[in-house]
């Protein structure tokens, strides 16, 4: 379901980090569905079976997506009800508290709202130019500082702002950007040059994501970074950038995030950049061409920027729920199943049904990991490695719950074998395929393929690999840290009705349910496809917890160096297929 869910995000211009980040659209013309029946009575009446089961799955979704849970908004009574319910399910199954003896993990966060009267004032060869917030640029800080003042910071054009040792590519080579403001192109050279020999051609790599570019600029000591927007490269228009960067922005507190942060970061429009470059004696089109070539050298611009960025800051918190099933032989090694529990809550003041129940997004994912947990707990022999089940919060606010978990993991990351993330499952019946988002990343896919082969299904790539959806859900935080992470979507080729039926179901979901009050549980859902998907994901974890494999990222993948580095001390670990891991970090 996620491909359609994600494709919709792309078309509708939803979010940048999580596709779900933007405020939900409301559709007054959609008739309000009947309210879900009271959850408590049903929960008491239901008897759970030992195996992955459509009836159990439906019961869990029905409860989590009921009006009583008020759309599971973090920091609301419905949100509290949600984490308590998930904890109760973990207890019922027989999991143990997973966060060093506790069921919950507090996730403190900072809410930052930039003052939109902020302007960027450039001095370009003695000529003054001003870019206004909204129409020309957006800017913000993740530093937690109420005021960031930048005075006459020199501009440096750093191409794509990429330092990728495994690609033999460094846009920062030979240039010192400390205290300066870097100007960066979005996406990566392979995309704009349309050259399959550069990076991964049209398919977006991690280096193409704006998140990466700001982090790299921070590592290099820049004062500020400005990304030049282009619609093709970003895969969305300026309206999306503008919408996503206006209003409240959510982050972990700077103190809880080990990665360095820039004092200020933002985007400027392509038109503004073109004029700015021209005044500095540079042709932006030529700069694109130069940046696409191997050996590109950063260009100091005859320009400086000054601004005074004021922000309103407040601190809040929400909770992850963590359960563990300890392994019998190697309890210190863990496989993680993850799903975000949060959704958009209840929107007071909206006419009609104002509860964003989030049944598909993502009560299905939470129900999925509970079903998988139950199967592991009830199946003999007991797993040799530990299993961790994490229901993360604040996905809709920018993947914060998973980011916090990775910074404060229940099991060390070099003891974490791999991660399987579920975000929105397809409820339209069995499909002939299963989709891997970001296919071609890690050896976890080989394990999954063995499962889908057995089911007589195919493993497919998502429909728009150039959009970089692999980098837009919770598992991405694990990937960035180096832990192999698998993210699947239900297939689109339905057994009943084929691709036409799959596409029609997707269209209906996107038009009437996605991020709307209409995302509710329905008795008409066909859940045999969900069961099959969960069995495949269970199968991957089963192989991992019964064996001693350490799947890695495929050779040449951007995340592999981080994994190799963290695993360098352990020489008893083998890849899928039993090949001994003997390489040291950095090779």
Closest contact distance (angstroms) between CB of 405 and Zn ion is 16
Closest CA to 64 of 323, 509, 320, 368: 368
Q: Which is nearer to Zn ion, 303 or 505 (CB)?
A: 505
Q: In the beta sheet, which residues pair with residue 442? A: 553
Binding residues for Zn ion, rule: CB under 5 A, are 361-362, 423
Q: What angle do CA 261, 266, 485 make, to 5 degrees?
A: 60
Cα torsion angle, 435, 531, 62, 30, sign: positive
Q: Which is nearer to Zn ion, 361 or 414 (CB)?
A: 361
The DSSP line for 232-244 is HHHTS-HHHHHHH
Closest contact distance (angstroms) between CB of 72 and Zn ion is 11
Closest contact distance (angstroms) between CB of 504 and Zn ion is 22
544/43 Cα distance (integer angstroms):
32
59/370 Cα distance (integer angstroms):
11
347/33 Cα distance (integer angstroms):
16
Closest CA to 234 of 196, 267, 274, 193: 267
Number of Cβ atoms within 10 Å of the Cβ of 8? 20
Closest contact distance (angstroms) between CB of 60 and Zn ion is 16
Q: Which is nearer to Zn ion, 423 or 462 (CB)?
A: 423
Q: Which is nearer to Zn ion, 292 or 490 (CB)?
A: 490
Closest contact distance (angstroms) between CB of 395 and Zn ion is 6
**Helices (DSSP H) in 269-380: which residue ranges?**
270-279, 284-291, 364-378
Backbone region of residue 466 per phi and psi (left: phi > 0; alpha: psi in -120 to 50; beta: other values): alpha
Closest contact distance (angstroms) between CB of 2 and Zn ion is 8
**How many Cα neighbours within 13 Å face the side chain of 457?**
25
Q: Which is nearer to Zn ion, 244 or 362 (CB)?
A: 362
Closest contact distance (angstroms) between CB of 560 and Zn ion is 27
Q: Which is nearer to Zn ion, 39 or 425 (CB)?
A: 425
């Amino acid at each position: 379901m996620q491909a359609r869910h994600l494709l919709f995000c792309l078309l509708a211009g939803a979010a940048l980090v999580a596709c779900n980040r933007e405020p939900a659209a409301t559709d007054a013309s959609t008739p309000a569905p009947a309210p879900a029946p009271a959850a408590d009575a049903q929960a008491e009446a239901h008897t759970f079976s030992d195996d992955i089961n459509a009836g159990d799955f439906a019961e869990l979704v029905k409860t989590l997506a009921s009006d009583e849970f008020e759309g599971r908004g973090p920091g609301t009574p419905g949100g509290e009800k949600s984490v308590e319910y998930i904890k109760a399910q973990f207890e019922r199954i027989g999991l143990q508290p997973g966060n060093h003896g506790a069921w919950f993990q507090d996730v403190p966060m900072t809410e930052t709202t930039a003052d939109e009267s902020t302007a960027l004032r450039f001095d370009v060869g003695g000529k003054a130019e001003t870019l206004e917030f909204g129409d020309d640029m957006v800017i913000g800080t993740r530093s937690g500082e109420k005021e960031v003042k930048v005075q006459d910071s020199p501009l440096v054009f750093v191409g794509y702002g990429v330092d990728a040792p495994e690609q033999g590519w460094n846009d920062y080579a030979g240039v010192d950007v400390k205290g300066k403001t870097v100007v960066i192109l979005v996406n990566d050279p392979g995309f704009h040059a349309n050259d399959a020999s550069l990076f991964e051609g049209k398919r977006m790599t991690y280096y193409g994501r704006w998140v990466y570019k700001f982090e790299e600029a921070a590592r290099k000591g820049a004062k500020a970074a400005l990304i030049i927007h282009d619609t093709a490269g970003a895969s969305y228009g300026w309206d999306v950038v503008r919408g996503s960067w206006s209003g409240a922005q959510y982050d972990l507190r700077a103190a809880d995030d080990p990665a360095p942060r820039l004092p200020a970061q933002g985007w400027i429009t392509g038109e503004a950049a073109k004029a700015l470059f021209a005044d500095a004696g540079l042709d932006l089109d030529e700069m694109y061409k130069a940046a696409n070539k191997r050996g590109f050298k950063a260009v100091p611009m005859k320009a400086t920027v000054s601004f005074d960025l004021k922000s309103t800051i407040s601190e809040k918190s929400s909770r992850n729920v963590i359960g563990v099933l300890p392994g019998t032989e190697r309890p210190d090694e863990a496989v993680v199943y993850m799903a975000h529990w949060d959704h958009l809550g209840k929107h007071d003041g909206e006419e009609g049904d104002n509860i964003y129940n989030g049944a598909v997004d993502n009560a299905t994912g939470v129900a999925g990991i509970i079903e998988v947990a139950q199967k592991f707990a009830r199946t003999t022999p007991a797993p040799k490695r530990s299993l961790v089940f994490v229901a993360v919060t604040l996905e809709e606010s920018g993947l914060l719950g998973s980011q916090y978990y990775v910074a404060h993991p229940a099991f060390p990351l070099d003891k974490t074998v791999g991660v399987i993330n579920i975000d929105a499952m397809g409820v339209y019946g069995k499909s002939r395929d299963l989709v891997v988002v970001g296919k071609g990343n890690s050896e976890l896919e080989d394990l999954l393929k063995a499962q889908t082969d057995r089911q007589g299904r195919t493993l497919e790539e998502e429909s728009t690999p150039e959009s970089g959806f692999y980098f837009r859900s919770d598992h991405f935080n694990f990937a960035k840290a180096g832990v192999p992470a698998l993210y699947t979507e239900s297939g689109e080729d339905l057994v009943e009705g084929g691709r036409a039926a799959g596409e029609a179901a997707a269209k209906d979901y996107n038009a009437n349910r996605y991020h709307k009050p209409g995302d509710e549980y329905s008795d008409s859902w066909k859940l045999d496809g969900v069961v099959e998907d969960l069995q495949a994901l269970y199968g991957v974890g089963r192989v991992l917890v019964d064996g001693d494999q350490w799947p890695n990222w495929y050779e040449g993948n951007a995340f592999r160096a981080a994994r190799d580095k963290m695993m360098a001390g352990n020489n008893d670990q083998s890849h899928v297929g039993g090949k001994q891991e003997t390489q040291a970090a950095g090779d």
